[in-house]
A and B are shown apart, each in its own frame.
Chain A
Amino acid sequence: MSESGGANHDRANIVTETSGVDRLAGVPAVFGAVAFVVGWAIVFRWVHVTDVLAGVTYATLLSAGHVLAAVVLCAVGVLSTTGVVDTDPDDSTGLFTALAFGAIAFVGVGLTASQTFDTGAGVWLPASVVALVLVTVAVLSVPEDLGVTLPVAAFELVVGLAVLTDVIGPSWTWSPHGFSASFVGPIAIAAFAMVGSLLCVWAGTNASQGFGSRGRELGAYSLISTYAAALLAILVLLIVFVVQNGIDQVLKGAQLWPFKLPFVLNGYGLQYDVNGIFPAIVGTVWLVVGAVVFAVPLAVGAAVYLTEYADQGRFTRIVETATNGLWSTPSIVYGLFAFAFLLPRIQNNVTLLTGQLVLGFMLLPLVLITSREALQNVPDEYRDASAALGVTQWQTIRSVVLPAAIPGVLTGVILGVGRIAGETAPILLVLVREPFSASAPSVIGSFHFTASAPFVTNEALLSPATALPYQLFAVITAGVGASQEFGWGTALVLLCVVMFFYAIGITTRIYFRRKLRQ
């Protein structure tokens, strides 16, 4: 802190004045942010490490950046500890940070000793443990400004020099003993860039605030922000990747006027110039609708009983545990159950109805769990108020408790639908006879009313159908029937169908939330 008007030296000035160290410390932070992006770009193969930018390869640029960050961090640490710049470091770095650096040293020394120098466990294990202890103790025994900057600088220097001197270059490979995978240089360089960048962002932002609690605050904030940004980036990348690969197939032969979107609106067969997936889209929609119609009333009813009527005790706890277990049951188990139990009881043949039921079974536990949660979250004051007006319990549930719980129930349905719409395993054995079918199941048109029992029949429900995830599975894994592009198109449409269900669910939820508040 700078002095002002002969103020007491023990107190920090409430206005922080720029001391220059923040600009210096910004160098590693900025390098970190850039290296993070470049690291991801290398992993996604948008750039290759040997690509040239301004006459230098990315590998060289990154390693030079590492070395530069190391030098600057060193300088910041030394300037701070010698008092050239005003900083506010604690006496020691935290134990957690020290252990984290120790762990990095453990891994680094262990890998180098065992792989590069090919020593046995008798050597590399003690060596790494010694490295862990030494680094941890060393970090703990110096003031915070050195404890933050020097270990990061050391890491940056080692990886920077390793890449710069081509010890770990683009052509480097590493095949660990007894392990069939091999790691190649570009991936290693990208990994160094990402780990190093997180360390640099943290140390740089920490130093820029002059260490101490303010430094740790900004350090933690930037580290978490970087993670969050990475997470969002991965999500966006996933969607972009699917869209990029699938859009050509989806738009094949499409035209605006007269409207044509053959891939989405055609069936699959000789009569079509462009084969399409309309039957599978309709199949998926009917599967989800059927599962929701079957499962949601049952689950909400059970939740009402368990929450409002049953004695809260061992019974409800057992049911709760069982439900959680059911939700975590692998979906192929549901598929097998449906194949062995439902199929012989419904026509002994694969049918749309069996698919709807098995997906309904899968949906049940999640909707039950979330509905129960939602009902429990309805304040007891509502129930008391209603009871005090002489209103019966069922009337209270129907007119006060359930309306207040609807948004929570819908959240469960939304999550559940997202899962079941994309499930292949449960319908593998019970739904499909011909994955690429020419016509869509016409469920609404197949209702026939008769004068004698059962009065209503629906042939479409009792016929085989197909579904998007099954088709995707058939194309990509089993390599049946159609090209890879067809599969990507299917994936994109499946994504859109699931998003469409989400949109419906979320809109309904917003409507009911509004109704409770306005």
Chain B
Amino acid sequence: MSQMETQTTTGETEEQIRDEWLEYDFEGESALSVEDLDVFYGNDQALQSISMDVPEKSVTALIGPSGCGKSTFLRCLNRMNDRIDAARVEGTVEFDGENIYDDDVNLVELRKRIGMVFQSPNPFPKSIRENISYGPRKHGDIDTGLVARLLGRDDRDEEEELVERCLRGAALWDEVHDRLDDNALGLSGGQQQRLCIARALAVSPDVLLMDEPASALDPIATSKIEDLVEELAEEYTVVIVTHNMQQAARISDQTAVFLTGGELVEYGDTDQIFENPQSQRVEDYITGKFG
């Protein structure tokens, strides 16, 4: 781990972040390895030298108060911040042995392998089936167009299979299998969000980034999403941002706590973070004294 002697900027305490708070030993491979990541929006620094390894096939929760940079951090992991003109990213994120911020990285391939689910459900105004097959179609993996049909190279069977597999993967199949051609906007909020997860699964990612996926949903839909996240972690590496600490405690294997100013203050096993945090500020945050 890097040397981290950053002065806190909150002024609430003079607490120094210690290296051992950030050390997290886990078994198995790491899916993403972040090293000295800084993000600037114009002149404002949104993230301060973040370093952390994300273990594969597990759920990593990012928690912290509003404006602490946890969503910014998440969007760095598949370079969605490239879409914001003012954002500037420094440091490295290693994925599959490559730094994703290298110049020769193919963003299309990167985002196929690191998928993302957003805060508010954002299905396309298309049918459920088209929503699922959208990614594979655009990548040329599935072709049901007129030309393909004429040439007898129709992939409709593959499409059916893919749609069913992804919808089952997102625990939505039983609710929608008889209306796959209906517009996705007719689904409820929770169903829409699970459809978005299914849509992300359709391009077979290794990593799934989730930005507060349940914050716009009611408790029942939320618990469905939470169950789903735990299931997904058997096959995928899930990184989930949440501001709901109970949710983080319930579903994650490890937790990273970001605090105001864009610092990563403590990172470790979820049980340890919630039961025995080492940083005073993290303890204050978790026990609700601040944030």
A residues touching B (Cβ–Cβ < 8 Å)?
A: 311, 379, 381-392, 395, 399-400, 403-404, 516-518
Alpha-carbon distance between A404 and B139 when the two chains are bound, in angstroms: 21
Of A311, A400, A517, the residue contacting B185 (CB under 8 A) is A517
- Contact status of A382 and B183, CB under 8 A, knowing A388-B111, A390-B109, A390-B112: no
**Number of A-B residue pairs at CB separation under 8 A:** 71
Q: Sort chain B's interface into a size bin.
A: 20 to 34
CB pair B118–A391 under 8 Å, yes or no, is no
CB pair A390–B107 under 8 Å, yes or no, is yes
17 A-B contacts (beta carbon < 8 Å): A381-B118, A382-B122, A382-B125, A384-B80, A384-B118, A385-B118, A388-B116, A389-B112, A389-B138, A389-B203, A390-B107, A390-B109, A390-B112, A390-B139, A391-B108, A516-B125, A518-B183
Shortest distance in angstroms between B76's beta carbon and chain A's nearest beta carbon? Answer: 13
Q: Which residues of B contact A381 (CB under 8 A)?
A: 118, 120, 122
Alpha-carbon distance between A382 and B131 when the two chains are bound, in angstroms: 11
- Contact status of A389 and B200, CB under 8 A, knowing A399-B134, A518-B183: yes
- Which B76-123 residues sit within 8 Å CB-CB of chain A? 78, 80, 83, 85, 107-112, 115-116, 118, 120, 122-123
Alpha-carbon distance between A201 and B109 when the two chains are bound, in angstroms: 69
Q: Which residues of A contact B125 (CB under 8 A)?
A: 382, 403-404, 516-517
Q: Which residues of B contact A517 (CB under 8 A)?
A: 125, 183, 185
CB pair A390–B110 under 8 Å, yes or no, is yes
Alpha-carbon distance between A395 and B116 when the two chains are bound, in angstroms: 18
Alpha-carbon distance between A383 and B116 when the two chains are bound, in angstroms: 13
Q: Which residues of A contact B173 (CB under 8 A)?
A: none
Shortest distance in angstroms between A182's beta carbon and chain B's nearest beta carbon? Answer: 61
Shortest distance in angstroms between A407's beta carbon and chain B's nearest beta carbon? Answer: 11
Shortest distance in angstroms between B257's beta carbon and chain A's nearest beta carbon? Answer: 25
Q: B124 interface residue, CB < 8 Å from A?
A: yes
Of A311, A384, A391, the residue contacting B135 (CB under 8 A) is A391
Shortest distance in angstroms between A78's beta carbon and chain B's nearest beta carbon? Answer: 59
- Contact status of A400 and B124, CB under 8 A, knowing A385-B196, A390-B110: yes
Ranked 10 nearest A-B pairs via Cβ: A381-B122, A390-B111, A388-B116, A390-B112, A389-B135, A516-B125, A390-B108, A391-B138, A385-B122, A395-B138
Q: Which residues of A contact B15 (CB under 8 A)?
A: none
Alpha-carbon distance between A236 and B239 when the two chains are bound, in angstroms: 62
Q: B57 interface residue, CB < 8 Å from A?
A: no
- Contact status of A384 and B120, CB under 8 A, knowing A389-B135, A392-B108: no
CB pair A389–B124 under 8 Å, yes or no, is no
**Which chain A residue has the least Cβ–Cβ distance from B113?**
A390
**Which chain B residue has the least Cβ–Cβ distance from A378?**
B125
CB pair A518–B182 under 8 Å, yes or no, is yes
- Contact status of A388 and B80, CB under 8 A, knowing A381-B118, A382-B124, A516-B125: yes
Q: B199 interface residue, CB < 8 Å from A?
A: yes
Most A CB atoms within 10 A — which of B83, B109, B199?
Answer: B83
Alpha-carbon distance between A366 and B108 when the two chains are bound, in angstroms: 36
Of A388, A403, A516, the residue contacting B78 (CB under 8 A) is A388
Shortest distance in angstroms between A199's beta carbon and chain B's nearest beta carbon? Answer: 49
**Which chain B residue has the least Cβ–Cβ distance from A517?**
B183
Shortest distance in angstroms between B198's beta carbon and chain A's nearest beta carbon? Answer: 12
Q: Which residues of B contact A392 (CB under 8 A)?
A: 108, 138
CB pair A387–B122 under 8 Å, yes or no, is no
Shortest distance in angstroms between A261's beta carbon and chain B's nearest beta carbon? Answer: 41
**Which chain B residue has the least Cβ–Cβ distance from A393?**
B83
Q: Which residues of A contact B182 (CB under 8 A)?
A: 518
CB pair B183–A399 under 8 Å, yes or no, is no
CB pair A389–B111 under 8 Å, yes or no, is yes
